[in-house]
Structure 1
Amino acid sequence: MSPRPWHAKITGIAFGGDYNPEQWPEEVWADDVRLMKAAGVTMVSVGIFSWAVVQPEPDRFDFGRFDRVLDTLAGAGVAVGLATMTASPPPWLARLHPETLPVTADGTTLWPGARQHYCPSSPVYRRYAADLVERLAQRYGDHPAIAEWHIGNEYGCHVSRCWCDVSAADFRVWLRDRYGDVDGLNEAWSTTFWSQRYSSFDEVLPPRSAPTIPNPAQEIDFTEFGSDALLACFLMEKEIVNRITPDVPVTTNLIPMPRGTDPFAWAPHQDVVSYDSYPDPYEPDAHVLAGFGYDLMRSLRHGQPWMLMEQAPSAVNWRQRNSPKPPGLMRLWSWQAVAQGADAVLYFQWRQSRGGAEKFHSAMVPHGGEHTRTFREVRELGTELGAAADVAGGRSTADVALVMDWRSWWGLQRSSHPAVLEQFDAVTAHYAPLFARSVAVDVVSPSRDLSAYKLVVVPNLYLVSEADAARLTAYVEGGGHLLMSFFSGIVDEYDRVHLGGYPAPFRDVLGLRIEEFWPLDDAGTVDVELAGTVTPATVWSEVIQPDGAEVVATFASSELAGRPAVTRNGHGAGVAWYAGTRLADDAMDALVGRVLADAGVAPVLPGLPAGVQATVRANDSGRYAFLLNHGGSAASVPVPAATALVGPAPADGRVALPPRGVAVLRLAGEG
């Protein structure tokens, strides 16, 4: 069945934000609608933290306020993503049922007073949540304002797992479903080590605080269980709204690089993927990190446009130092999301709160009101998005896939490894050179069909099943190009070492074996000679024994001087590259450039100046190029024949972009 169109009530790119009218007297609502119309707002999220408002007591519901809110928005032509309101239970639930509260690994109960204070496995929490969602769907399912259901909110942001007795019982059910019997569990968890063998599932607990290093397979499974327990909450609510309102699409907003929830497991259950993005203006490469998240969101449902559900109009309030976005940066970063596949640009939130924990988090309407830089920029962006409505629904095509696996990530960042390795550092090191070249990238799981890609990049795949390893090998044998980096292919899906020498499942395709790991200390470096240039490398080194592979770079210092650092191996009809260290940025850029050329991968547009990002989206109405200047100086960008929808028009085959400049072009001959 084809996905239901989440944007059925919206023309073009949705624009708006979280609307929390319960924070304000009703006389403010008329001003809200006036300003929404002035800003070009077409969609708002309503009710995300409103459970206590509509159900002030266990046996009393009051929907009158939201009746008036939704009627007002419908009258103004503003579509609504109505939240199921279950993200933050009211205090009375904890008072009546303290067993619904989450517990940490050391036994600490997390109490009300913030948000997300619920155990995902709690049947009591789920029962009350289900009752609320049933009433909401019955009452508002056919309301003319409703465009989608916004289920929960930022699942796993604060509580991704609970270690209480209720969760322990649920974990045992999950394990029984996975392993069948306790012998299967013992085999998977290697419980003969340290006398951990279980004689019954009743003996199994979550990995609570222990005297020393806990069982890593147990920790990995418990992390996946936590993701599945939250997903079960989502699916419970989805079943209710689908049953009552089968034509209303559903979503929930994922958070940046969520360690506790696997987005590949969640995406198939959403009609549209939604994402919250908060790049730090103080970080010079914040747009690159954001870009990875956007490519991941676009890839989760195989190129389907996604929603930027939250971003900050200016400063956030939760970092040690919270920089405002300088003039033009909010516009640039909003267009970056659209350039990388978003069909919605929304914010947290519409009107800046007067009290509470996020009162200094910026909003579309700041404390200073409409006569502020922030609101002026919001209004200008709304006008621009309206002018580029034709790009909505556009998709991008990528020749490169970057492999990311959450179970491998959970395994990688356990203790007792040769070194502490950060998954996202590895991802960034490989993604940044691709982003800098405006090479389109899909972010995929190792179980994805890879045959359509010219190049597959594997920054780190510490944990890999034999089936996924065979899939990557077959991809190369069939003519694909592979770039893989160190500490990949080390253990199976249960964190048991692949025997036969490292990296056993990839030895043939890489044409080498790893005899010994040699990680560097925190500040340590090792020299590497690549293409006649000596450059420092960090984090890792290892003893590589080629077994058919060509040596591309060698270590030039340390005990490993003269030994291979980077290799290239022809395998079948394809090629596999391997990096046994973390090259410095310039060297990594040079290596990636060579790998791309070898694979026949070109940027989206040729001749781009440094700092300029380019993407292309295409739909039935045409092909659209996006040019974004992330650099600190003006840039002259060569472009094919095109007309401008947003930003400067081409002149003599070039577009002049100021710093933070944006151009959206309809390419000639299309549409």
Structure 2
Amino acid sequence: MITRVEGLLYGADYNAEQWPESVWEQDAKLMREAGVTMVTLGVFSWARVQPSEDEWDFGWLDRLLDLFHANGIAVDLATASASPPAWLVRKYPEVLPVTADGVRLEFGSRQHYCPSSPIFRAAATRLARALAQRYGSHPALALWHIHNEYGDHVTECFCAESASDFRRWLLKRYADDIERLNFAWGTEFWAQRYSSFDQVEPPRTAPGPVNPGQVLDWRRFCSDALLACFLDEREVLRELSPQIPVTTNFMSMFKALDYWTWAAHEDLVSDDAYPDPSGASDHVLAAMNYDLMRSLGGGRPWLLMEQAPSAVSWRTVNVPKPPGLHRLWSLQTVAHGADGVMYFQWRASRAGAEKFHSALLPHGGTATRGWRETVRFGAELRRLAEVAGSRSSASVAVVLDWNSWWALEMADHPSARVKLKEQVLGWYSALHARNVAVDFVPPGAPLEDYRLVLCPNLYSVSVPTAEWLTSYVAGGGRLVCGFFSGIVDELDHIHQSTDGSGGGYPGPLREVLGVVVDEFWPVADGDAVPVLVADNTTAATVWSEWLDATTATTTGWYAGSGPLAGRPAITRNAHGSGEAWYVSCQLGAGIDVVLAEALGAAGIEPVLAVPAGVEVTRRTGPDAAYLFLLNQNHDSVDLASLPPGAVDLLSDNTIDTTLRLPALGAAVLRIPA
């Protein structure tokens, strides 16, 4: 169990402070009717809990926790530090964050704080301590929820306090040696040398391009500064209520924060996910994010902390979820390893910026379509209770490195169009369409359980990381590596020899890949380069390369009449007992042909052969396996060759070997171990 609550969690944020107490009892009754097992309280309640610096008001929160305990509903209690109250920022205006242009942001939204501010950190920790002292042993408490969506609005602050904190961080990173910093940042360029750490400032707005080494360290620092805020509160909660698990809600594949580092400090990984119902393939992006959440927790079940039952309120056009989609996409989270489905929020707000955001209890109350779906899905989750605690496994690993991501997308590169998340999603989509299970791994992770490792892009590669991948291939593994990889080391320095005798791209990956990249040939906007692979012509956009195969065999060529025509585009290299592919261009859907070859060589099969548009995942427990069949099509489909004798937990029907899934339909088959 991810908390002490049995089965799969079901519930939502309950912003009770927005409503008169006369509504609370009614809400608790409706929650029982809907099958809610846990609610999140207090996310935005700092001003209510602490009306002034030395005044506390816990009475209302006491009554809420007592109410939910009496109704058999567990509480995920937030520490409320995401939105500092007006009294704090007016008494201590230096708490407010400052932009790179020197503008101090104002009160009136949320997350209006400088992560490095000692005043903010002390106030937030004091708040967490007060909550833990009062509620750490309350029988309703099942989970601590620190802050909310770290980095959603403020990922960095450029004030004087942040500058001081940045210098302290640099002093530690470079062991109080300014020459180490000068080397790391390449400060001989443009006369940027420092003679002391006191001269260093954050990368504020400057006349021209800012030092990339400085920017990269700033990205690392900003992630660490927010993490320090989280750890301050976590230590208080661990001290006063060590029996209660601690989480903070992530925001899917979020660039600003290194979630590998963050997840190591959580008892439970949780995520907020808002795929767009108007996006034809947003369910694929969601699946990718969910697989990342499961991977961040080392394969353990995770919690979907927030999603929308229907429309959100913050897109340009906020499209609702048609009938059936809320159910299907909620089941998708469980299919990818979640042991709970939570929402923002329980009751739709009557005021504020998110008053048009959908909720489990809509403005129209219990007479609405939304309410009927809320009750129906709660009953279905109860039927899936036995799935809780089961796990997923995969034979394919995708390498995801935040440091490389930050370095890849800095300024002054051959093309500003190369985006890591888009590249990863393109490769993931090909595997998702084939129903091949995927894990994500950081550099250096154990790879012995994976038959295929993918690096859609690994721009920044340290020598140990290159040795890690090379050793994997030499030992019999299969590797597929995408373009513009192996270019720089962890300092963002180009991999090359200093005597001019050798080197070149892709740096320390040259031997395992068996190629040398002579020159980058980014593709202009609106253009495409034809590529011939496996007797099929596809198109490369965004990126191509002048590639030479050294020990590799060419399996795809640039075609057409351009300067790259006839040159290698895709290669396959035998190295030790394994093989490595190199893809020198952005192929879009054409990447499927390359990955199909690698999957075949690795002997990897889909979870189940099904018609296109049907998503299949498998979770395994001690006594049974669970096959999730999700029809993402808007037409019904017929499935064959299903495990005989399986029981669909959603309908309680025993399946022979065939099944018809309606449009946006789903089945969860229990297969005896």
Question: Once the two structures are superposed, what CA deviation does each residue of 1:92-116 show, in whole Å capped at 9, x if it has no partner?
Answer: 1110001111111111111110000
For residue 492 of structure 1, give the secondary structure of its aligned residue in structure 2: coil
Contact 1:648/1:663 (<8 A) preserved = no
Contact 2:409/2:419 (<8 A) preserved = yes
For residue 7 of structure 2, what is the aligned residue in structure 1? Answer: 12
Q: 2:241 aligns with which of 245, 267, 280?
A: 245
Rounded Cα–Cα distance in structure 2 between residues aligned with 1:584 and 1:260 = 25
Alpha-carbon distance, 1:589 to partner: 1.5
Moved more, 653-662 or 37-46: 653-662
Q: 2:95 aligns with which of 93, 97, 100?
A: 100
Alpha-carbon distance, 1:647 to partner: 4.4
**Change over 3 Å in CA distance of 1:100–1:529 after alignment to 2:** same
Matched, 1:578 2:579: no
Matches for 1:348-363 after TM superposition, within 5 Å: 348-363=344-359
Q: 1:501 aligns with which of 485, 504, 513?
A: 504
For residue 82 of structure 1, what is the aligned residue in structure 2? Answer: 77
Rounded Cα–Cα distance in structure 2 between residues aligned with 1:198 and 1:579 = 40
Matched, 1:566 2:570: yes
Contact 2:614/2:633 (<8 A) preserved = yes
Alpha-carbon distance, 1:522 to partner: 1.2
Write the letter of the residue equivalent to 1:629: N
Matched, 1:432 2:429: yes
Alpha-carbon distance, 1:584 to partner: 3.7
Question: Once the two structures are superposed, what CA deviation does each residue of 1:536-568 show, in whole Å capped at 9, x if it has no partner?
Answer: 221111111100101001000211000000000
Alpha-carbon distance, 1:302 to partner: 1.1
Alpha-carbon distance, 1:353 to partner: 0.3
Rounded Cα–Cα distance in structure 1 between residues aligned with 2:657 and 2:624 = 19
Matched, 1:317 2:317: no
Matched, 1:622 2:624: yes
For residue 145 of structure 2, what is the aligned residue in structure 1? Answer: 150
For residue 544 of structure 1, give the secondary structure of its aligned residue in structure 2: strand
**Change over 3 Å in CA distance of 1:88–1:596 after alignment to 2:** same
**Change over 3 Å in CA distance of 1:659–1:266 after alignment to 2:** same
Contact 1:6/1:147 (<8 A) preserved = no
For residue 210 of structure 2, what is the aligned residue in structure 1? Answer: 214
Q: 1:466 aligns with which of 463, 468, 481?
A: 463
Structure 1 residues without counterparts, runs of 5 or longer: none
Q: 2:296 aligns with which of 287, 294, 300?
A: 300
Rounded Cα–Cα distance in structure 1 between residues aligned with 2:522 and 2:56 = 60
Contact 2:618/2:625 (<8 A) preserved = yes
Contact 1:189/1:494 (<8 A) preserved = yes
Contact 2:648/2:655 (<8 A) preserved = no
Write the letter of the residue equivalent to 1:439: V
Write the letter of the residue equivalent to 1:53: R
Contact 1:647/1:662 (<8 A) preserved = no
Question: Once the two structures are superposed, what CA deviation does each residue of 1:460-508 show, in whole Å capped at 9, x if it has no partner?
Answer: 0101111111101110001000011100010011100011110011000
Rounded Cα–Cα distance in structure 2 between residues aligned with 1:364 and 1:584 = 38
Alpha-carbon distance, 1:654 to partner: 1.4
Contact 2:2/2:302 (<8 A) preserved = no
Moved more, 625-634 or 12-21: 625-634
Rounded Cα–Cα distance in structure 2 between residues aligned with 1:429 and 1:351 = 37
Rounded Cα–Cα distance in structure 1 between residues aligned with 2:6 and 2:140 = 14
Matched, 1:644 2:666: no
Number of aligned positions between the proteins: 662
**Change over 3 Å in CA distance of 1:129–1:519 after alignment to 2:** same
Rounded Cα–Cα distance in structure 2 between residues aligned with 1:109 and 1:654 = 62
Matches for 1:339-488 after TM superposition, within 5 Å: 339-420=335-416, 421-488=418-485
For residue 589 of structure 1, what is the aligned residue in structure 2? Answer: 592
Q: 2:557 aligns with which of 542, 554, 557?
A: 554
For residue 663 of structure 1, give the secondary structure of its aligned residue in structure 2: strand
Contact 1:156/1:258 (<8 A) preserved = no
For residue 113 of structure 1, what is the aligned residue in structure 2? Answer: 108
Rounded Cα–Cα distance in structure 2 between residues aligned with 1:595 and 1:621 = 33
Contact 2:489/2:495 (<8 A) preserved = yes
For residue 49 of structure 1, what is the aligned residue in structure 2? Answer: 44
Q: 1:267 aligns with which of 259, 263, 266?
A: 263
Rounded Cα–Cα distance in structure 2 between residues aligned with 1:596 and 1:366 = 46
Rounded Cα–Cα distance in structure 1 between residues aligned with 2:328 and 2:626 = 17
Structure 2 residues without counterparts, runs of 5 or longer: 497-502
Rounded Cα–Cα distance in structure 2 between residues aligned with 1:62 and 1:121 = 28
Alpha-carbon distance, 1:608 to partner: 1.1
Sequence identity (%): 54
Alpha-carbon distance, 1:212 to partner: 0.8
Alpha-carbon distance, 1:621 to partner: 3.1
For residue 370 of structure 1, give the secondary structure of its aligned residue in structure 2: helix
Normalised by the length of structure 1, the TM-score is 0.98
Contact 2:643/2:656 (<8 A) preserved = no
Contact 2:517/2:548 (<8 A) preserved = yes
Matched, 1:135 2:135: no
Contact 1:514/1:545 (<8 A) preserved = yes
For residue 367 of structure 2, give the secondary structure of its aligned residue in structure 1: coil
Contact 1:519/1:539 (<8 A) preserved = yes
**Change over 3 Å in CA distance of 1:614–1:647 after alignment to 2:** farther
Rounded Cα–Cα distance in structure 2 between residues aligned with 1:536 and 1:228 = 40
Rounded Cα–Cα distance in structure 2 between residues aligned with 1:634 and 1:217 = 54
Alpha-carbon distance, 1:650 to partner: 5.5
For residue 142 of structure 2, give the secondary structure of its aligned residue in structure 1: strand
Rounded Cα–Cα distance in structure 1 between residues aligned with 2:470 and 2:206 = 39
Rounded Cα–Cα distance in structure 2 between residues aligned with 1:300 and 1:399 = 16
Moved more, 154-163 or 530-539: 530-539
Contact 2:2/2:301 (<8 A) preserved = no
Matched, 1:518 2:542: no
Question: Once the two structures are superposed, what CA deviation does each residue of 1:497-529 show, in whole Å capped at 9, x if it has no partner?
Answer: 011110011000000100000000011100111
Alpha-carbon distance, 1:13 to partner: 0.3
Normalised by the length of structure 2, the TM-score is 0.97
Rounded Cα–Cα distance in structure 1 between residues aligned with 2:534 and 2:233 = 57
For residue 611 of structure 1, what is the aligned residue in structure 2? Answer: 613
Q: 1:62 aligns with which of 57, 64, 71?
A: 57
Write the letter of the residue equivalent to 1:580: S
Contact 1:54/1:63 (<8 A) preserved = yes
Rounded Cα–Cα distance in structure 2 between residues aligned with 1:531 and 1:138 = 65
Alpha-carbon distance, 1:604 to partner: 1.2
Question: Once the two structures are superposed, what CA deviation does each residue of 1:137-196 show, in whole Å capped at 9, x if it has no partner?
Answer: 000011110001000100011101111110000001111111111111111111111111
Write the letter of the residue equivalent to 1:538: T
Write the letter of the residue equivalent to 2:479: L
**Change over 3 Å in CA distance of 1:561–1:365 after alignment to 2:** same
For residue 646 of structure 1, give the secondary structure of its aligned residue in structure 2: coil
